[in-house]
Amino acid sequence: MKQSYDFNIEEIKNLSQEEKISRKKSLDLFNKYGFPSKQVEDWKFTDLNLILNKNFDIISNEVNFESNKELEVIKNFEHNYIFLTNGKIISTSFPHEEKRKILITDFDKKEKTNFDSNNSLILLNDALSSGGFSLEIAKNYKLKKPLIVYNYFSDDLKNKILNNKNSIRMNEGSELTLIDYNDGKSQSNFIKNTIDTVILNENSILKNILIQNSKSNGHFYRYIKGSLEGSSNFENYILSSGLKLNKIEIEVNLNKDNSSCSIYSALNLLGDQHQEIKTRINHNSPNCKSYQKIKNVLNDKSKGVYQGKIFVEKIAQKTDAYQLSKALIVNDEAEFDAKPELEIYADDVKCSHGSTSGSIDSDAVHYLMTRGISKDEAVKLLINGFLNEILENITNSELKFFLEEKLERQINGH
């Protein structure tokens, strides 16, 4: 069985004839492969084709970007923001910053993704992408406050697919905390396919935080590709609980000495939610560090997946790579799959990986209940205790408080 697609490049505005031809090529290739199913090795735990078949009758890309939503800005948390509807910039605000140090524009459609991949979702994105933003931070500029990217979705997205590309360039010595904030109260079934290209030049620091703020029937796929120059640092925090389906792929290329990256995730999955995190860290240069800590709580009939690969090139001596995934399985019907992979060609490296899963400690629940706390609350306290560990390295207390509050909402099922 195959769902019917209605993908139309003509719907996309302002394309040159040349672009149309190139996009048509990508679309033809996509049509050859279709959405990936579990027969594709990278998708063996997330049969996207099957999932879409179950949830969509038809999928089309006719999208209008008109905003019909009032922007609700988060209060009591000082920040800058970019407001996107269906992935397109509606407004921006940088009250805390020197404005000429930050360049924010619509994504330049001529920018090539240049992914050497037969990933059909990337092909589809190449064919259909519209919207998206490009962000550049000037040399040595350190943003004083975090930047929140508000992602809003219009109400008419039933059976639609959104394809966005974003790019972020951190120039030498710049620093940014970026919070990608989804607030889709929209209950309609839709797909979002996003490609982020992130470049960190020497000594720059980017904290990239993904937050889902409400339950959503959205089916999300995101490919984040990071390329790091010397002594730069790319930190990722994934707090995306609440989406019906979510797969995040993060590829990080540690291209120059002393660059480092980390990936932390804390997910509390409910109902039949399904989330996969797939990472590939390429240690292409000596003395680089990578750190991954993936925590999943699986309730009800949910499914969590972690596929993590560490690749160490022959020249990448003194690599320090760490990877740990821990799952807390609350219900017997829930599932967690982990596939750690190490591929190492250098001989002087420190690489470790581990994966554990367990259930809720019933003695701990009993102890908490003898203190007047109901069973539900006790379990939530324990889940919170399990997940909030991933925030322990965040030193900015305002940011930490903000994230703790979001995590708690997710544990309470939004």
Q: Which residues contact another protein (rule: CB under 8 A)?
A: 361, 363-364, 366-375, 377, 381-382, 384-389
- Closest CB 194 distance from another protein, rounded Å: 32
Angle at 180 between CA 174 and CA 186, to 5 degrees: 165
CB-nearer residue toward another protein: 160 or 326: 326
Distances (CA, A) of 377 to 270, 302, 371, 388: 16, 20, 11, 16
Residues 6+ apart with CB under 8 A from 18: none
Beta carbon of residue 42, minimum distance to another protein (angstroms, whole number): 32
* Shortest CB 135 distance to another protein, Å: 35
Phi and psi based region of residue 363 (left: phi greater than 0; alpha: psi -120 to 50; beta: remaining): alpha
**Residue among 333 and 377 whose Cβ is closer to another protein:** 377
Report the nearest approach of another protein to the CB of residue 366 (Å): 6
| Closest residue by Cα to residue 55 from 335, 223, 272 | 272
- Least distance in angstroms from the C-beta of 327 to another protein: 15
Name the residue with tokens 């240049």: 114
Toward another protein, which CB reaches closer, 95 or 358? 358
Question: Smaller CB distance to another protein: residue 185 or 375?
Answer: 375
CB closer to another protein out of 67 and 388 = 388
- If the CB atoms of residues 124 and 368 are measured against another protein, the closer one turns out to be 368
DSSP string, 195-262: EEEEEE-TT-EEEEEEEE-S-EEEEEEEEEEEEE-TT-EEEEEEE-TTEEEEEEEEEEEE-STT-EEE
User: Which of 105/412 has CB closer to another protein?
Assistant: 412
DSSP at 73: P
Tell me how far apart the alpha carbons of residues 364 and 375 are, in angstroms, rounded to a whole number.
11
The Cα 276–Cα 150 span in angstroms is 23
Q: How far is the CB of 299 from another protein (least distance, A)?
A: 17
Least spacing, CB of residue 413 vs another protein, in Å:
18
Query: For residue 292, what are the β-bridge partners?
Result: 263, 323
- Within 10 A of 32 (CB to CB), how many other CB atoms are there? 9
Q: Which two tokens stand for residue 135?
A: 């962000």
- Which is closer to another protein, CB of 13 or CB of 371? 371
What's the min distance (Å) between Cβ of 382 and another protein?
7
Q: Which CB atom, from 50 or from 369, has the smaller least distance to another protein? A: 369
Q: Give burial (CB, 10 Å; 0-12/13-18/19+) of 113.
A: middle
- Percent helix / strand / coil, the chain, rounded to 5: 20, 40, 40
Q: Least distance to another protein from the beta carbon of 368, Å?
A: 7
